[in-house]
Structure formats: C-alpha cells, structure tokens
Structure 1
Amino acid sequence: MQTGKNAAASAKETAANVAASAKSGMEKAKASAQEKAEKMTAHDPVEKEMATEKEEAIKQQAELEKQEARMHNAANKQAERGGALGGGYATTGTEGVVESHPAGIDKGTGRTTAQNPRVEGTGPTYGTGGTYR
C-alpha cells in the first residue's frame, strides 16, 4: 500500500509542478506581449526602457513563484508519504523513529537482492530448480 501512496504523491507533485510551470509560462508570455505593446506606443527611449524593465521584473517574479510552488509541492509530497525519506535515513514521526531502506537491499550481505533472484522474500523464482530434463 505504501508504494501506491508514494506513486499517488509523486503523481500529484508532478501534476502540480506542470501546472506551476504552465502558469509561469503564461505570465512570462503575457509580460512579453505587454512589453511589445508598450514599446510600440512609447514615444521616447525612457518609456521603452521602462517597459523592458517591467517585463524583466514580471518574468523574474513568475520564475520565483514557480520555484516556490515546486518547493511547496515537494513538501506536500513528503507529508503525504508520511515523512519517509528513503535512502536509509532515519526520520521521526508521531510514533517514534522509523528507519527506512531502499527497496532490494539485503542488509546481511551488503548485496542487493537483484543480484540473486532466489533470495527469500523476493517473489517467485524462475530458475530450473534442478528438475529440468
């Protein structure tokens, strides 16, 4: 069930990041169009320079908001996953310290179970089992 929860959290984060990127792109495109319009109606170089500076400021703000949204989305994903970090980190939660490990690590030998498909608990084995005729 934890894998499904992680997949759902990752999908939500990805969708939210795509939405943030799309919003940022729209704001930047809008700023560019507005800058072009202001430059066309400007009567002197100072007004044109102000239009360019305004465009750059809007684009920087849109990029900043996108990055903040990405960080927020990552934090939400982490919260949905119950705070488990993976990679062998210890995290504290409401029920104490929980140690997590990457999938497929056999702590006793230091080898991954992917190196030996017959390690207990890794699922069905597809070898001949010595009964091949």
Structure 2
Amino acid sequence: MQSGKNAAASAKEAASNVAASAKAGMEKTKASLQEKGEKMTAHDPMQKEMAREKKEERKHEAEYEKQATKEHNAAQKQAAGATGMGTGTGTQTYTTTTRHQTGTGGI
C-alpha cells in the first residue's frame, strides 16, 4: 500500500513540475513576443533597449517561479515522508529457520 501512495506522490510531483515548466515556457514566449511588438513600434534606440531589458526580466522571473515551484514540490514530498507516508526506500530483513540433519538420521 505504501508503494502505491509513494507512486501517487511521485506522479503528482512530476505532473506539477511539468506544469511549472510549461507555464514558464509560455511566459518566456509571451515576453519575447511583447518585446518584438515594442521594438517594432519604438523609434528610439533607448526604447528598444528598454524593451529588451523588460523581456529579460520577465524571462528571469518565469525561471525563478519554475524553480521555486520545483523546490516546493520536493519539500512537500520530503515532508510527507517524514510524517509517516514513507518514501519506499527502506529495507526489510527476513530470517529463516532451517533444520539440520545429523549423519545418524536424528534431528
């Protein structure tokens, strides 16, 4: 049962990380497109440079948000393991008892 919970937690973490990456990619694309639009309408080189800097700032912010989400997901998974859900990495030890025969047929 624990491994099922662990698998579900891992799948949830992975899905959240994928969503964060996709969102960051969309934000970066929007920043690039907005920069192009601003550069086309700008006549002053200073305005064009400001558009480029704004794009870079938005891209860095999107990357920061993605990394923060991934760290949050990892912390949640670790906290779940500490509160008894387990991580599925423990080992169990089993002992076996055997009966040894002597050469005279006795037990």
Question: If the length of structure 1 is used for normalisation, what is the TM-score?
Answer: 0.63
Partner of 1:13: 13
Partner of 1:65: 65
C-alpha displacement of 1:86: 6.8
SS at the partner of 1:43? Answer: coil
Alpha-carbon separation, structure 2, partners of 1:60 and 1:2: 39
Question: If the length of structure 2 is used for normalisation, what is the TM-score?
Answer: 0.77
C-alpha displacement of 1:57: 0.2
Identity over the aligned pairs, expressed in percent?
63
- Any gaps of 5 or more consecutive residues in structure 1? 88-100, 107-118, 122-133
- Any gaps of 5 or more consecutive residues in structure 2? 97-107
Deviations 1:20-78 (A, max 9, x none): 00110000000000000000000111000000000000000000000000000111222
Partner of 2:49: 49
Letter in 1 for 2:28: K
Bigger fraction of residues in helix:
2
Bigger fraction of residues in strand:
1
Comparing both chains, which one has the higher relative contact order based on Cα–Cα distances under 8 Å and sequence gaps of 6 or more? 2
C-alpha displacement of 1:80: 2.9
Q: Which structure has the bigger radius of gyration?
A: 2
Alpha-carbon separation, structure 2, partners of 1:33 and 1:5: 42
Pairwise CA RMSD of aligned residues?
A: 2.2
Count the aligned residue pairs.
94
